[in-house]
Amino acid sequence: MSTFQAPKGTYDLIPPNSATYLAVREAIAAPLRNSGYGYIETPGFENVELFARGVGESTDIVTKEMYAFETKGGDKLALRPEGTASVLRAALEANLHKGGNLPVKLWYSGSYYRYERPQKGRYRHFSQVGAEAIGAEDPALDAELIILAHQAYRSLGLRDFRILLNSLGDKECRPVYRAALQDFLRGLELDEDTRRRIEINPLRVLDDKREAVQEQLIGAPMLRDYLCEACKTYHEQVRELLTAAGVAFEDDPKLVRGLDYYTRTTFEFVHDGLGSQSAVGGGGRYDGLSEMIGGPELPSVGWALGVDRTVLALEAEGVNLDIPAATSVYAVPLGEEARRVLFGKVTELRQAGVATDFAYGGKGLKNAMKSANRSGARLALVAGERDLAEGLVQLKDLQSGEQTPVVLDAVVEEVRRALG
């Protein structure tokens, strides 16, 4: 074993498990690519101020969980704790919003970092696929994103997830609610950290998971009772569009999400098979975020789905993804001449799009055939001196054990036929 191990709260993705993660990423991305979303990739670290302003000074992410550091040149940077602020920053920097075709639709996939207390489903390094639609205020856009996430989860075979939905109001009605909530919260027996949160972002107190706090919150004013007519109408339209699309959801008046930038629509995908870490993804509308980070007014909406949590949800439901074997054909040479000839055939097969591997390291027949079986290949190509003298190789079906001599020049054609 190596002297070194992966840092606490992180993990290595290694075969064969890594194939499941890749399949999950692909399944989440597929409906996005099919709906006008272009791929974007941003740096793994950003200016610390981007997250302080964008995610919010009062959030746990910024106050407790961010990996912040100073470079040798004196720059204050942070490993990205989430994707939206970075994607919006990149879109603004590239002036994508000035192309005349709004909304700008982007999707991304990557690793994110938070100094969490590690537990199952909560890591310090985690993987997400996200989507952002920048520059349009339209209930159909909010509904579209929820429907696409729903479609992705259904395509993976997940059934036991729920969608929680709420509206957080806008800059017109939320300040009135905020003041009413602050008045209520100031009368409670709360610890110093939570009291500080009342002044910065009181809505985050509603999101407190501690039972003692939740008990005190009984009777707290509800945001839905303070929504202005415009926000009520907008939210109702999102609900109608989801219902018309056959997407079931639950209204959750306490759903806040852990980021300060959300306005109006907010939603969460939860899976009851995951215990306390039940959220597998979520998102919402963030109409003021662009201005918070120094950009123009750009109403936007987006989500991020956790790849790690989605894999755990699949395990909880006992769903096994149909992942094709990494190798279809395994070549086994017996002798130097066979190595040279078969290696050439391996290259030809690969160029023809057939997943092919080779018995490296001069293994004997017995060990090489064990490797062929372990690789998951359907077929083995076996050749020795006698075969080559006759211009042949042996094509062996590893499932049935049946072996057929094949003319060298016809290997690619015969392999394709055998694989169907």
Summarize pLDDT for 261-306 with one digit per residue, the tens: 788 999 999 998 887 668 999 999 999 899 989 999 999 999 999 9
Nearest to 180 by CA among 129, 224, 223, 216: 223
What's residue 271's pLDDT?
A: 94
Fold that domain 17-173+227-317 belongs to in CATH: BirA Bifunctional Protein; domain 2 (3.30.930)
Nearest to 61 by CA among 37, 39, 85: 85
Coil, helix or strand at residue 350: helix
Please check whether the two domains, 17-173+227-317 and 329-419, share a CATH topology.
no
Q: What residues does each domain of the chain span?
A: 17-173+227-317, 329-419
Please say if the pLDDT value at position 257 is more than 80.
Answer: no
Summarize pLDDT for 46-55 with one digit per residue, the tens: 999 998 887 7
Please say if the pLDDT value at position 208 is more than 90.
Answer: no
Fold that domain 329-419 belongs to in CATH: Rossmann fold (3.40.50)
Q: Give the separation between CA 86 and CA 92, rounded to whole angstroms.
A: 10
Average the pLDDT over 148-177 and give the result.
93
Q: Say if strands 125-134 and 104-113 run parallel, antiparallel, or are unpaired.
A: antiparallel
What's residue 255's pLDDT?
A: 86
Quick one: pLDDT band at residue 59, thresholds 50, 70, 90?
A: low
> 10 Å Cβ neighbour count for 5?
9
Q: Give the separation between CA 259 and CA 54, rounded to whole angstroms.
A: 8
Quick one: pLDDT band at residue 79, thresholds 50, 70, 90?
A: very high
Phi-psi region of 74 (alpha: psi -120 to 50; beta: other; left: phi over 0): left
Q: Give the separation between CA 352 and CA 292, rounded to whole angstroms.
A: 52
Please say if the pLDDT value at position 56 is more than 90.
Answer: no
What burial letters (b/e) apply to 70-82, b meaning 16+ CB within 10 Å? eeeeeeebbbbbb
Q: Give the separation between CA 359 and CA 334, rounded to whole angstroms.
A: 10
Average the pLDDT over 339-348 and give the result.
96
> 10 Å Cβ neighbour count for 22?
13
**Average pLDDT, rounded, for the chain:** 91
C-beta separation of 310 from 319 below 8 A: no
Q: Is the pTM of this model over 0.85?
A: yes
Q: What percent of the chain has a predicted confidence (pLDDT) above 70?
A: 97
Average the pLDDT over 365-369 and give the result.
93
